[in-house]
Amino acid sequence: MELTPENWVENHGDFLFNFAYSRVRYRQVAEDLVQECFLSALKSRQHFRGESSERTWLTAILKRKVIDFYRKQTTKSDSSEDSFSSPFIKEGPFQGRWLRERSPKPWSPTADEHLNQEEFMGVLKVCLDHLPENWRAIFVLRFIEEMESDEICKELGCSASNLWIIIHRTRLKLRECVEKGWLK
């Protein structure tokens, strides 16, 4: 299979942009990542072996660009784990239990039916946008990119225990945000 760089924008541009935009925060960043993907692909086109489709190859390059974007973001921002307010009782005989006002609200039995609704996805995106940058990066890599934990730790330079603490805190924050914005 031969590469056709002159047709990449027309044949794959929208797909790649949507792929990038669904994983990063801003339209401009997604556009830049796609441009970087095309440039990298042009520079390394002699390494394309034709074992996959052109789109699959370009998507793999773009995926690396997204990971690099998050790696840069997590090294730039010394994110605020300390600013996380725990929803648990800190002292006394009930230590570790939920604070009454912060405990999870019951999810309706039909909550699964709503997962694909635009409204839910809109609220989830807003909630993701309010997370500290490294929390969002870890969430996207783990649950959207479906990367393994050890790979995320290697890519972002964090320990496994730190990763799981951030995932736990991220889930709590997202649940709280979604409950306020969607499950009123």
Asked if 110 and 141 count as a contact pair (C-beta separation under 8 A), the reply is: no
Domain-located, residue 88: no
Residue 85 structure tokens: 């307010």
Tell how far CA 16 is from the center of its chain. Answer: 16
Give the C-alpha distances (Å, rounded to integers) separating 64 from 87, 118, 139. 35, 28, 16
Domain-located, residue 159: yes
For all residues of the chain together, what is the average pLDDT? 81
For residue range 90-143, list pLDDT tens digits in order. Answer: 777 777 776 766 666 665 545 555 555 667 777 788 888 888 888 888 998 888
Enumerate long-range contacts of 37-44, CB under 8 Å, 24 or more apart: 37/61, 37/62, 37/65, 38/5, 38/8, 38/9, 40/65, 41/3, 41/5, 41/8, 42/5
pLDDT (mean) for 1-28: 87
Q: Are residues 72 and 105 in the same domain?
A: no
What pLDDT does 40 receive? 93
pTM above 0.85, yes or no: no
| Of 183 and 20, more confident | 20
The CATH code of the domain that includes 63 is 1.10.1740
Domain count, the chain: 2
Q: What is residue 134's three-state secondary structure?
A: helix
pLDDT (mean) for 66-90: 67
Domain-located, residue 89: no
Per DSSP, 99 falls in state P
Domain, as residue range, for 155: 100-181
What pLDDT does 79 receive? 46
Domain-located, residue 37: yes
**pLDDT of 83 over the 50 cut:** no
Indicate the helix (H) or strand (E) that contains 155.
helix 149-156
Among 42, 76, 110, where does a domain finish?
A: 76
Of 40-44, 78-82, 88-92, the poorest mean pLDDT is in 78-82
What pLDDT does 41 receive? 92
